[in-house]
Amino acid sequence: MKYSKLAEFYEEVSSTTKRLEKIDIVSKFLKHLDNKEVMYLLLGDIYPEYDERRIGISNQLAIKAISKATGTDSKKVVQEWKAIGDIGKVAEKFTLHKRQSTLHSHILTTEKVLENLRKLPELEGKGTVGKKLSLITELLTSATPIEALYLVRTLIGDLRIGIQESTIKYGILKAFFKNNKDYEYKIQQAIDNTNDLAIVFEIAKKGKIRDLEKVQLEIGKPIKVMLAQKVVKIEDGFKALGTPCAIEYKYDGFRLIIHKQRNKVILFTRRLENVTKQFPEVVEYVLKYVKGDSFILDSEAIGYHKKTKEYTEFQSISQRIRRKYDIEKLQKDLPVEINVFDILYYNGKSQLEEPFKKRTALIKKIIRNHPYKIIHAKQIITGNIKKAKEFYKKALKDNQEGIMMKNLNATYKPGRRVGNMLKIKPEERDLDLVITGAEYGTGKRSGWMSSFILSCRKGNKYLEVGKVGTGIKEKSEQGVSFEELTKKLKPLIIKEEGKKVWFKPKIIVSVTYQEIQKSPNYNSGWALRFPRFTALRIDKPLSEITTLEEIEIDFKHQKKNYRYG
């Protein structure tokens, strides 16, 4: 397939903000698509979501490639980038006026694009930058202006066409099943089970819904985790879920999805990253204390003090997720306990469609509890408000975030924020937001970025809700520092204007705040009053940050509390 056809699709689908029009454009494109691998490119990727390999090209390398491919001085490329703020548009502009000879250029195909892009994550060691530059330049030299635009956006992971997995799901439904709404759930189920749009597309193209029904979970292929909605009071939880319901600790740790097949254990984060090597003791616990030939468990890893056995906050153990060296020392200094609260698969059979009461009973049956190693989540099943509140107090006393309330008859819904699983935390308000901008500091913060702009999510857009500087440390030994955040954010710069900088959304932080106010100063229409940084959330994907809708709901709760509290 010519890459120009895909670029035309990108242009057409990004030309409208209307959801139904986007679905119609996707549907028409899919009807004529023969190469299933192109499905990854539709979302700006090169592999299925569960695959850890990513393109990972920085803006700086993209600038070098544009410069080399178009014969333009790199300083001019940077200057244009700062003015436009979209490096893809810069590539388009200079490709239109490129002076370099194109005698050796070829017509680009999606196969060639995938071939070159898939070589990028494999390159390591000496000369890597040069090899990557060569692969990218080869594509850009052959690219038309519109192809260059989307090639560069794909390279830096910022496609900007406004489609999501759900858009493609409805496109498949319309293209191959005549928009029959009875089949929507089956398509979603297949996506949930595979986490691979190419496989779902390939099966759906044949038009046989029963083949989609055969798609099952696989050990070693991580799927997205189910997410909870918020409620303020236990009474609200009972009202939404009915009684009795399961109440569990809401742990202050990080999600760990455990896969086991015979004697092999693989550990994944909620971002679908393989962290098996970082947690050798967890592999040992699973093999020793969990019965079953094959299973997938949903759990939370929490830290505790070696001597006092008191549970610690997420931030104290977060470094274990990314560190690949000194593992033995880290597991001694920062031990974790695994708390299993759900099961997705057991001995050859998916548990996703089973009711939670059956899944939680199975967990208790197969796990031999060993405190400070691996246990099933602390839980009560009750409809009694007094007992629920006592359990809530106990969770807080044990240094956990709060409680989870779960409908006993609910199935497991991967990747969705569902109303049959609710979280309750103390009134101190907190949000997970992404940093999209900052200003360079002055005085003792000179050279560092400070006053970080925070954004929430609305669909594919990120809307500003405030700035934070409080809670970030001056010295790295005291915690997350301005210097550390500056280092993490510098490679993500997409635009600079004096002391102000804007970033590709990637770095997620937790903040507390006093209240939410209406504000014309931020494009969300809201502002956080007195936000304070509390944690760097390297374990969370962008899909899980706070949404604009959630901020509006929190504002309504806040008003209600003022009125009646």
- Annotated catalytic residues are 250
DSSP designation for 121: G
> Computed over its alpha carbons, how large is the radius of gyration of the chain?
25
Give the separation between CA 32 and CA 39, rounded to whole angstroms: 12
Contacts of 554 (CB under 8 A, 6+ apart): 230, 429, 431, 516
Dihedral over Cα of 29, 30, 34, 37: its sign? positive
Helix, strand, coil shares of the chain, percent, nearest 5, are 40, 25, 35
Residue 497 structure tokens: 């204007």
DSSP strands (E only) in 442-513: 449-458, 461-468, 493-497, 500-503, 508-513
The residue to which tokens 């199975």 are assigned: 362
> Closest Cα to residue 279, out of 299, 260, 256?
256
Give the pairing of strands 508-513 and 336-346. Answer: unpaired
DSSP strands (E only) in 367-490: 374-376, 379-382, 402-406, 417-424, 429-440, 449-458, 461-468
Contacts of 482 (CB under 8 A, 6+ apart): 441, 445, 448, 449, 450, 472, 473, 474
Give the separation between CA 438 and CA 501, rounded to whole angstroms: 5
Q: Is the peptide bond before 145 cis (omega within 30 degrees of 0)?
A: no
Residue 314 structure tokens: 């997420």
Q: Give the chain's length.
A: 565
CA distances from 277 to 281, 298, 330 (A): 10, 18, 12
The letter for the amino acid at 271 is: R
Give the separation between CA 303 and CA 20, rounded to whole angstroms: 46
Residue 512 structure tokens: 């507390």
Provide the terminal-to-terminal Cα distance of the chain, rounded to the nearest Å. Answer: 63
